[in-house]
């Protein structure tokens, strides 16, 4: 048992999601390998699962890129707004 201050660990959500995805992948692969199917059917199923996973990862990547672009755009807009609002004060301080 640890005594002292509580220290939260950073990034636990990302780690949990990573392990969840790994577990899902391993579980799906084991399920396919242990299923009573012919080799041809198993290879077809593996190929389809692989293609589905690639498509899902591509969708997530596209969504992440879109969100990052939105955040960068909002940040630039906020910086411009702050620059505009502080310009009179900056000019005043330079003149003094």
**pLDDT value of position 11:** 58
Percent of the chain with pLDDT over 90: 31
Q: Does residue 3 lie within any of the structural domains?
A: no
Q: Does residue 2 lie within any of the structural domains?
A: no
Least confident piece of the model among 4-8, 35-39, 55-59: 4-8
Q: Does residue 76 lie within any of the structural domains?
A: yes
What would the mean pLDDT of 27-41 be, rounded to a whole number? 79
Checking if the pLDDT of 41 tops 90, the result is: no
For the entire predicted model, the pTM comes to: 0.46
How many domains does one find in the chain?
1
Both tokens of 11, joined, read 């990034």
Which residues does 46 contact at the CB level (< 8 Å), separation at least 6? 29, 32
Average pLDDT taken over every residue of the chain: 83
- H helix and E strand count, the chain: 2, 0
Q: Does residue 43 lie within any of the structural domains?
A: yes
Q: Does residue 65 lie within any of the structural domains?
A: yes
**pLDDT value of position 2:** 56
Q: Does residue 1 lie within any of the structural domains?
A: no
What's the domain range around 55?
12-95
């Amino acid at each position: 048992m640890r005594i002292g201050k509580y220290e939260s660990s950073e990034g636990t959500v990302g780690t949990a999601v990573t392990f969840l995805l790994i577990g899902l992948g391993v579980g799906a692969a084991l399920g396919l390998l242990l299923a009573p199917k012919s080799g041809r059917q198993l290879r077809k199923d593996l190929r389809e699962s692989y293609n589905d996973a690639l498509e899902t990862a591509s969708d997530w990547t596209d969504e992440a890129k879109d969100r990052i672009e939105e955040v960068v755009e909002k940040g630039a807009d906020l910086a411009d707004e702050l620059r505009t609002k502080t310009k009179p004060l900056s000019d005043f301080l330079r003149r003094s």
